[in-house]
A and B are shown apart, each in its own frame.
Chain A
Amino acid sequence: MAEEIVLMKGNEAIAHAAIRCGADGYFGYPITPQSEVLETLAELKPWETTGMVVLQAESELAAINMVYGGAGTGKMVMTSSSSPGVSLKQEGISYIAGAELPCLIVNVMRGGPGLGTIQPSQADYFQTVKGGGHGDYRLIALAPNSVQEMADFVELGFELAFKYRNPAIILADGVIGQMMEKVVLPPQKPRRTEEEIIRQCPWAANGRNKGRKPNIITSLELKPDVMEARNIHLQEKYRTIEENEVRYEEIHCEDADYLIVAFGSCSRIAQKAMETAREEGIKVGLLRPITLWPFPKKIIAEYAGKVKGMLSVELNAGQMVEDIRLAVNGKVRVEHFGRLGGIVPDPDEVVHAIKEKLIK
């Protein structure tokens, strides 16, 4: 399959991109608004072409633990779900992070708490960047704001996951999952051979241990001094990731008096709001975190000395705004605007919020 321009939903783009980047396995359980990921994979039948395994597990718990097992053998494996399903996966995610295994998780968020609604939300920000599961661990969190990025971040997510032996997550929402846009699909890459996997993943438990010590995949360690050393090692790894992997986009920030910070679908809505505000003579810029962890705190801190105020626009009651406030450390006013429970604001509501919360 060569490079191809098509029109599709964000969820469908995830499925196509997974096959094309040479993934070995997908394990999932259906839930709105991300069911098209599994549906599209089932329709494309990659097991007949690339040999990729696609399996509908009996539950989200089973799916994430299949990912744990697959990742332990050095395979490129992934799962996807939406908020309530991702909550169910948290134990497995913590284990995978503890065992330092690479994998990709996709969360197409919907409104909560609880079963909530099937409409878009960004209320799993805390869950994604501050833990979710137990213990001191981090996920590399990518926030796509277009169907193109849904496709691109599958390969990027896997690349980062393998580079750091750490789970990566794509944090999208119902808007990005359900909308259709033009997308350029990458050409088909072959899946790695067993030999390539052994070379790339000398830690993997793939049963071929001639001449080497057995590899053990576990997150359990009962000796506290060894466990502390393991934690210190993890923290050092996280500092390296923070140093190297921060990604963000700046739009019209250079002359901005006011800065909107928004990710995912909200960044698209905020961009339109920014255009409207500029037509009215209000100099607004937009900073879009692409990695939610590591968070682009340095650049946000730099803008603290340049703008009169910042507005965090989120589909939640105020989550990322806490990280922005930590980044600016009191140097500038930081306000939050959000809608809850599956309601998505339109651009005019964001313009209104800029005027009410920052300028008034």
Chain B
Amino acid sequence: MKEEIIISGFGGQGVLSMGKILAYSGLMENKEVTWMPAYGPEQRGGTANVTVIISDEKISSPILSSYDAAIILNQPSLEKFESKVKPGGILIYDGYGIIHPPTRKDIQIYRIDAMDAANEMNNSKAFNMIVLGGLLKVQPIVNIDSVMKGLKKTLPERHHHLLPMNEAAILKGMEIIHLQ
């Protein structure tokens, strides 16, 4: 098994931390993982993206030409990465702020209105976990137990009371994702 994923959006949306949680979950399942962020001025407010690879075997390049799955959280990211999804691959996008939705016919396109759901939950910080839930629903790369174990490991103990909220967000994402 090998999954090559790009997550891309605005800085501050939790793009890098979502990738980190995914990578940690892979580690919990004894997989090989790489997490390669765009670490430039992006993380100070522009577009941010991270490439995550989870594999049974040793990973060669942490930088890729094409992806099995693209998680797109704003219009510039869609323009940049829609063409880079492998034929037969997956594209997941949040509808908020997308003016020109994806049009490819040779990939599976899913929409998840995670921004709206996060607002409904009254918790904008749940946004990236809702998206992650959506991804895991359509492509079960890792199981939720591993995600929760990974979260427990990455979150400082003073934030452990937030674990149930994160799990609820993942489940919410699994519920609301749908084919475009």
Chain A interface (Cβ < 8 Å from any Cβ of B): 5, 7, 32-33, 117-119, 174-175, 178-182, 265, 268-269, 271-273, 275, 342, 344, 346-349
Complex: A257 Cα to B167 Cα, angstroms: 52
- Minimum distance in angstroms from A276 CB to a CB of chain B: 8
Check B64–A346 contact: CB distance below 8 A: yes
Of the A-B pairs whose beta carbons lie under 8 Å apart in the complex, a sample of 25, sorted by A's number, is A5-B27, A33-B39, A174-B39, A175-B63, A178-B36, A179-B34, A179-B62, A180-B23, A181-B32, A181-B33, A181-B59, A181-B62, A182-B33, A265-B62, A268-B61, A268-B62, A269-B63, A271-B60, A273-B61, A344-B63, A346-B61, A346-B63, A347-B61, A347-B64, A349-B65
Complex: A254 Cα to B142 Cα, angstroms: 37
- Minimum distance in angstroms from A121 CB to a CB of chain B: 13
B-side contacts of A273, CB under 8 Å: 61
Check B65–A7 contact: CB distance below 8 A: no
Complex: A33 Cα to B41 Cα, angstroms: 12
Select which of A7, A119, A265, A275 is within 8 A of B33 by beta carbon: A7
- Minimum distance in angstroms from A280 CB to a CB of chain B: 14
Select which of A32, A181, A347, A349 is within 8 A of B34 by beta carbon: A181
B-side contacts of A346, CB under 8 Å: 61, 63-65
Name the interface size band of chain B.
20 to 34
With A275-B60, A346-B64 known as contacts, the answer to whether A178 contacts B37 (CB < 8 A) is: yes
Chain B residue at smallest Cβ distance from A7: B27
With A7-B23, A182-B27 known as contacts, the answer to whether A175 contacts B36 (CB < 8 A) is: yes
- Minimum distance in angstroms from A136 CB to a CB of chain B: 37
Q: Does B110 sit at the interface, judged by CB under 8 A?
A: no
Known: A7-B35, A346-B64. 9 other contacts (CB 8 A): A5-B27, A175-B36, A179-B34, A179-B36, A180-B34, A181-B59, A265-B62, A268-B63, A272-B60
Chain A residue at smallest Cβ distance from B61: A272
Q: Does B97 sit at the interface, judged by CB under 8 A?
A: no
Tally the A-B contacts, defined by beta carbons under 8 Å. 67
Complex: A342 Cα to B38 Cα, angstroms: 11
Check B65–A347 contact: CB distance below 8 A: yes
- Minimum distance in angstroms from B84 CB to a CB of chain A: 9
Complex: A174 Cα to B63 Cα, angstroms: 12
Q: Mark B61-80, 1 if CB is under 8 A from A, else 0.
A: 11111100000000000000
Chain B residue at smallest Cβ distance from A273: B61
Chain A residue at smallest Cβ distance from B36: A179
A-side contacts of B32, CB under 8 Å: 181-182
Check B35–A118 contact: CB distance below 8 A: no
With A33-B39, A118-B40, A180-B20 known as contacts, the answer to whether A271 contacts B61 (CB < 8 A) is: yes
Complex: A181 Cα to B65 Cα, angstroms: 20
Check B40–A119 contact: CB distance below 8 A: yes
- Minimum distance in angstroms from A120 CB to a CB of chain B: 9
Interface residues of B in 39-92 (CB under 8 A from A): 39-40, 59-66
B-side contacts of A348, CB under 8 Å: 65-66
- Minimum distance in angstroms from B70 CB to a CB of chain A: 14
Chain B residue at smallest Cβ distance from A269: B61
Most buried by B among A7, A174, A273: A7
Chain B residue at smallest Cβ distance from A176: B62
Complex: A275 Cα to B59 Cα, angstroms: 12
B-side contacts of A268, CB under 8 Å: 60-63
With A179-B34, A182-B33 known as contacts, the answer to whether A7 contacts B61 (CB < 8 A) is: no
- Minimum distance in angstroms from B148 CB to a CB of chain A: 16
- Minimum distance in angstroms from A295 CB to a CB of chain B: 23
Complex: A290 Cα to B9 Cα, angstroms: 36
- Minimum distance in angstroms from B53 CB to a CB of chain A: 10
